[in-house]
Amino acid sequence: MPAARRRLRPLQLHARLTHSSSSDTTHFGFQNVPRHKKEDMVKSVFSSVASSYDVMNDAMSLGVHRLWKHDFVSTLNPGASGPSKCIDLAGGTGDIALRILDHAREKHYDRETTVDIVDLNPDMLKEGQKRFKQTMYHNTPQVSFHVANAQALPPAQFPSDNYDLYTIAFGIRNCTDIPAVLREAHRVLKPGGTFACLEFSRVDNSLLSTLYDSYSFSIIPLMGSIIAADRDSYQYLVESIRRFPSQPDFSEMIREAGFTTGAPREGKGGAWRNLWGGVAAIHTGVKL
Amino acid sequence: MDTFPRICFRAILQHALPLISTHGFTRKTLSLAVMQLPNPHSQPLSETAITALFGNGDDARRTLINGWLKGGLEDMQHGKTTGGTMQHILKRRLRWNEPVLEHLPEAFALLVAPQQTLPRLDIRPAISHAASVADEACYLTSDIPEGTSWYVRRAVIASIYTAAELHQITSPQTSEAFLDELLEKSESVRRVVAESSLFAEYVGKSWGSLIKSRGIF
């Protein structure tokens, strides 16, 4: 079944959709598509890439994504103030959740921190469940898997003022309504809880930006076609990075959702921190 | 839906300043500050939240120290209304240090401690602190000389203040008298330098006239 899905070419859907008369459109990579269609299109992209997602991430970023995720979780330092209730959105393959639990256990001898992994895509969650079966957290209350939409988390399943830490890594750029995601994050966090987002971002150095663009638009889709037999999905992933708001704009969106951030600048004590010159960035905010 | 008013991180920093005398320039001070807000929290902030707002590890402490130094500059403005002389304003700045005197050596050491492998010591924060105090004091006393005197005056005041602050750490009771003495000496040195340069100019012009009268040039 996964092999059949890889041959589906989900991006061919948009060829019919561009003639839509609807004026309520949003971006899907560099194309404009009706808002109500984007969610399904993103879902099928990730269904297509789910089984080779981690391999492709290693190939595309030359393993650097592991360093970024390690940096992300180390900075958050879960477990430092006692057991934390965490929620990881777009966390299908369980990468961040596993790092959170390992960090809390290894650094703070904490076996009570929990992570609820939430993803829109059941195929990505299945990959996460497979990964966790190889760990000591399988079948424990420390981890659970939920299919849900980050823009509208069901209140019955995800009550308000419930979590200490909300993380979303390389997922928010795929959401149709980013402010809605941020509002939901604000809702489910407890007062004093932290929002943290790791995402591809804008490179501030012009030389690095040129090299990065060449690499992104030439090499990555080619790798997608060779390793995952799905060039179009990886083309979308690269394009979606370019459509994401800049670091200052995104930090303002976080503040508009009701979060308090650090100073509106990059770096130590700032609202965001660039990684590798802005190829990725960590944005944080606190619900006060 | 949003029942929580937006609170700026600067507000937390402001509410942390009175806690420094008890808890020092620490992450704990920042975490307890939310319990002093107008709508206080029932729990201190977590380590994760402190990192999110103020930076990781000692970076949060540096943010607190810099916030406190900035508070000191703002407090100097009150000195303008109660005297307004350089002496009053610098003394007011020294009094800002008094509640946290025991924590100051560690705070200054943290500011100059290396954050990278090189340089081994970063004295820029120390210079910046002294220069900011001097600049603020000169501005508040309307002491705005022109040309190179602008820099000389500020360098002198910065040196005087630095010496007085270091003296205060070791001997707080005599710090104000020490500051008075330094200001007086700098005034007399300034007078001597001004008179000497006037005299040197006079001598130079006299020699110039002598040489011209001899027809050498």
**In this complex, is the C-beta atom of B2 within 8 Å of any C-beta atom belonging to chain A?**
yes
- Given a cut of 90, is residue A24 above it in pLDDT? no
Same domain, B119 and B151: yes
The arithmetic mean of pLDDT across residues B104-108, rounded, is: 93
Coil, helix or strand at residue A107: helix
Question: Domains in chain A, start-ordered, CATH in brackets?
Answer: 27-287 (3.40.50.150)
- Given a cut of 50, is residue A22 above it in pLDDT? no
Element containing residue A14 per DSSP (H, E): helix A14-17
Same domain, B105 and B202: yes
The predicted-structure confidence for A171-217, as pLDDT tens digits, reads as follows 898 888 999 999 999 999 999 999 999 998 888 777 777 787 777 77
The total number of structural domains in chain B stands at: 2
**What pLDDT is attached to residue A25?**
75
- Given a cut of 70, is residue A12 above it in pLDDT? no
The arithmetic mean of pLDDT across residues B41-70, rounded, is: 94
Enumerate chain A positions whose Cβ falls within 8 A of a Cβ in B.
75-78, 80-81, 84, 164-165, 183, 186-187, 191-196, 255, 257-258, 260-263, 268-269, 284-288
- Given a cut of 80, is residue B213 above it in pLDDT? yes
**What pLDDT is attached to residue B82?**
64
The predicted-structure confidence for A101-111, as pLDDT tens digits, reads as follows 999 999 999 99
Domain that includes residue B18, residue range: 1-54
Same domain, B47 and B74: no
Compute the count of residue pairs across chains A and B with CB atoms less than 8 Å apart: 87
Domain annotation covers residue B28: yes
**What pLDDT is attached to residue A48?**
63
**What pLDDT is attached to residue B7?**
72
Cβ count within 10 A of residue B133: 26
Q: Which residues contact A43 (CB under 8 A, 6 or more apart)?
A: A120, A121
Q: DSSP secondary structure string, A59-94?
A: HHHTTHHHHHHHHHHHHH-TTTTS--EEEEET-TT-
Looking at the complex, report in whole angstroms how far the Cα of residue A28 sits from the nearest Cα belonging to chain B: 29
Same domain, B94 and B43: no
How far is the C-alpha of B173 from the C-alpha of B175, rounded, in Å? 6
Domain annotation covers residue B59: no
- Given a cut of 90, is residue B193 above it in pLDDT? no
Cβ-nearest to A258 among B6, B43, B45: B6
Tell me the pTM.
0.81
Give ipTM to 2 decimals.
Answer: 0.78
The predicted-structure confidence for A51-64, as pLDDT tens digits, reads as follows 666 666 776 677 88
Each as own residue / partner, the long-range contacts of residues A133-136 (CB below 8 Å, 24 or more positions apart, any chain) are: A135/A98
Distance of CA B71 to the CA centre of its chain: 10
Same domain, B80 and B138: yes
Domain annotation covers residue B62: no
Same domain, B104 and B173: yes
Give the tokens for residue B96. Answer: 């800002």
Same domain, B155 and B74: yes
Cβ count within 10 A of residue A134: 9
Interchain CB distance below 8 Å, A284 and B53:
yes
Which comes out higher in pLDDT, residue A39 or A285?
Answer: A285
Same domain, B40 and B135: no
The arithmetic mean of pLDDT across residues A245-258, rounded, is: 95
Q: Where do we find the tokens 């076996």?
A: A111
Work out the mean pLDDT of chain A and round it to a whole number: 83
Work out the mean pLDDT of chain B and round it to a whole number: 87
The arithmetic mean of pLDDT across residues A103-124, rounded, is: 94
The predicted-structure confidence for B127-152, as pLDDT tens digits, reads as follows 899 999 999 999 998 877 777 788 88
Interchain CB distance below 8 Å, A260 and B12:
yes
